[in-house]
Homo-oligomer: A and B are copies of this chain.
Amino acid sequence: MAGNSFGTLFRFTTWGESHGPAIGVVVDGCPSLLSLTEADIQPWLDKRRPGQSRYTTQRQEPDQVRILSGVFEGRTTGTPVSLMIENTDQRSKDYSEIASKFRPGHADYTYWKKYGIRDYRGGGRSSARETACRVAAGAVARKVLGDGVTVRGALVQIGPHKVDRSRWDWAEVDNNPFFCPDPQAAAEWADYLDGIRKSGSSIGAVVEVVASGLPAGLGDPLYDKLDGDLAHAMMTINAVKGVEIGNGFEAATLTGEQNADEMRAGPDGEPEFRSNLAGGILGGISTGQDVVVRFAVKPTSSILTPRQTVDLQGKDTDILTKGRHDPCVGIRAVPVGEAMMACVLADHLLRHRAYARG
């Protein structure tokens, strides 16, 4: 299609530029009779919102969401749910440098080559600001999934520093500015990231998202496999360069004996898996175990150290990016990854119902 929509039955379309009047998302295919108000969406946006700690960009956006359609007397009607967020902190600044030079590692050059025009203010459409729309759509998707399904994300690595999984505690995720499930790692990261921030540098990260409570059977082989759609979803998030399901790249190093998740009869007659290296997906279909996705986020190229580039006239020049930026964009990718997971699952839940046996 045309690039700005995602999903099949639960399908959303986003619009808007970083420094335009507003951004928004139209969620189509949301079933009727779900309770939905702005209060169901706002907390997720607040989680992604910038300016909440010194580790994220200082742009101040209230990110106040408004429901413009699809809800009547507090319940969804089955018609499109249109959500809008106004841009308020479009700080007046001098864009002449960014307008005339291509920032390395950003989409400046490719947008220019593709479209012959770009809204250079704050990255325009390629800005991570668009991810607020994903988060809003994800909040609606959670309503479709219902209370029985939990979708949670965490930051598991910043630069070379990984969490210690033996200390994993979901409750810790909300206790530090990194969505880190390991309190000791969080403390260490704080120092590490202060150094990065003060030097005007940036650093990459790895995010993990886990969905619990799903039924077995979600996913449509072969090309709409659940893992295929999840990989698609995560790889479209800004700055993501890699996606894994379950043990991911580690699976390449294992033997068949090591990698198979064995099964035993469970108490209710249903089989139980003795491990979950597969990340809850076999043959593209959910097993009923936790669905586990990880993705790598590159460091932003908006840094204070000058980098070599060219300008619109094709001349060599240097660029350094002043202004408000995230030392680790991976942090704010956590709620975005959760949202994309929720949207993929909601879509497949609806599709599953369509084909379900009597």
Say yes or no: is A135 at the interface (Cβ < 8 Å to chain B): no
Say yes or no: is A149 at the interface (Cβ < 8 Å to chain B): no
Which listed residue (B13, B114, B249) contacts A206, Cβ 8 A?
Answer: B249
For residue A330, which residue of chain B has the nearest CB? B252
Say yes or no: is A182 at the interface (Cβ < 8 Å to chain B): no
Instruction: Provide the residues of chain B in CB contact with A274, threshold 8 Å.
Output: 308
B351 pairs with A354, CB closer than 8 A? yes
For residue A258, which residue of chain B has the nearest CB? B299
Chain copies in complex: 4
Instruction: Provide the residues of chain B in CB contact with A3, threshold 8 Å.
Output: 28-29, 220-225
Which listed residue (B206, B253, B259, B357) contacts A105, Cβ 8 A?
Answer: B259
One digit per residue, 1 when the CB lies within 8 angstroms of any chain B CB and 0 when it does not, for chain A 1-30 equals 111111111110111110011111010110
One digit per residue, 1 when the CB lies within 8 angstroms of any chain B CB and 0 when it does not, for chain A 58-88 equals 0000000000111010011111111000000
A126 pairs with B225, CB closer than 8 A? no
B6 pairs with A2, CB closer than 8 A? no
For residue A200, which residue of chain B has the nearest CB? B256
Size of the A side of the interface (Cβ < 8 Å), in residues, is: 152
Which listed residue (B111, B256, B284) contacts A302, Cβ 8 A?
Answer: B256
Complex Cα–Cα for A14 and B14 (A): 12
A263 pairs with B16, CB closer than 8 A? no
Say yes or no: is A187 at the interface (Cβ < 8 Å to chain B): no
B307 pairs with A257, CB closer than 8 A? yes
Complex Cα–Cα for A106 and B283 (A): 7
For residue A22, which residue of chain B has the nearest CB? B68
A117 pairs with B241, CB closer than 8 A? no
* Given A16-B82, A232-B228, A282 and B109 contact (CB-CB distance below 8 Å): yes
Complex Cα–Cα for A356 and B289 (A): 26
One digit per residue, 1 when the CB lies within 8 angstroms of any chain B CB and 0 when it does not, for chain A 265-287 equals 10001110010001101111111
A9 pairs with B14, CB closer than 8 A? no
- 14 additional A-B pairs beyond A77-B119, A77-B125, A105-B261, beta carbons within 8 Å, are A2-B28, A4-B28, A6-B223, A33-B115, A105-B260, A109-B263, A110-B282, A113-B216, A113-B287, A232-B232, A235-B243, A255-B303, A256-B302, A265-B315
